[in-house]
Amino acid sequence: MPFRDRRDAGRQLAKAIPPQGDAIVLGLPRGGIPVAYEVARALSLPLDVFLVRKLGVPGHEELAMGAIASGGVQVLNDDVIGHLGIGRDAVARVRAAEEQELRRREREYRGERAAVPLAGRTVILVDDGLATGASMRAAVRALRREGAARIVVAVPVAAADTCESLRPEAEDVVCAVTPEPFTAVGAWYEDFRQTTDEEVRALLDRANAGRGIEHGDHAHHGR
């Protein structure tokens, strides 16, 4: 069992990430935030949240026909949409509902803090693990569209083939452990309790509280 909990996983993951210079760490909520918090702390880098919402096929929500991410970016799976004959109106309806939820979560997690501009930046994109990698792939593509210069995908544990499949998408992919057989992300944590919205908010606030001077442009405002 490699990891006690997500914080422990983040501390171990940070040791596996090569130096990235002036980067920003982005966590995928909820479970990626405690991991990302420890990575950002260990590497003395700023932390922010990056949200991805799956667009589920109507009536079969677990099947992804695409995803949306922070910044209004949409990635569609045209194969699934074409194969199932899903109309544009249906896609638009699902997207509208998920956009509302994405905005709600951004407000919930970030409060009054503005999103950090990502154009030209090196971004270390962190989650608590990769099974299929669908959310991570959507996040990487969304960051590309926002103009990120270098994207490093970093997770404590992943299925080996998923880790490999992301290599063409990012400048670097760091999977601290790729156990065989993989089974599931949670199998490699002693404590894999769900991260709450309160924990996400508290960690983001704590990470940003100490950065008000050197990173004035992404300090928290009026909290």
Task: Please say if the pLDDT value at position 6 is more than 90.
Answer: yes
Distances (CA, A) of 180 to 68, 100, 158: 31, 39, 10
Q: What is the mean pLDDT of residues 52-71?
A: 87
pLDDT of residue 76: 86
Domain ranges of the chain: 6-49+117-208, 53-109
Give the pLDDT score at 223: 31
Q: Is the pLDDT of residue 144 over 60?
A: yes
Quote the pLDDT of residue 67. Answer: 85
pLDDT of 68 strictly over 60: yes
Q: Which residue has the tokens 């589920």?
A: 56
pLDDT value of residue 211: 61
Residues 6+ apart with CB under 8 A from 79: none
Contacts of 191 (CB under 8 A, 6+ apart): 4, 5
Q: What is the pLDDT of residues 191-207, one digit of tens each?
A: 999 999 999 999 999 99
DSSP-H helix ranges across 17-87 = 32-43, 78-84
Q: What is the pLDDT of residue 61?
A: 86
Q: What is the pLDDT of residues 97-132, one digit of tens each?
A: 999 999 899 889 988 888 888 999 999 999 999 988
Whole-number pLDDT of residue 62: 80
Q: What percent of the chain has pLDDT over 70?
A: 93
CATH code that applies to domain 53-109:
3.30.1310
CATH topology of domain 6-49+117-208: Rossmann fold (3.40.50)
Burial status of residue 196 (CB atoms within 10 A of its CB: 0-12, 13-18, 19 or more): exposed
Q: How far is CA 174 from CA 58, 60, 75, 128, 132, in A?
A: 34, 32, 23, 12, 16
pLDDT, mean of residues 160-165: 94
pTM score, whole prediction:
0.86
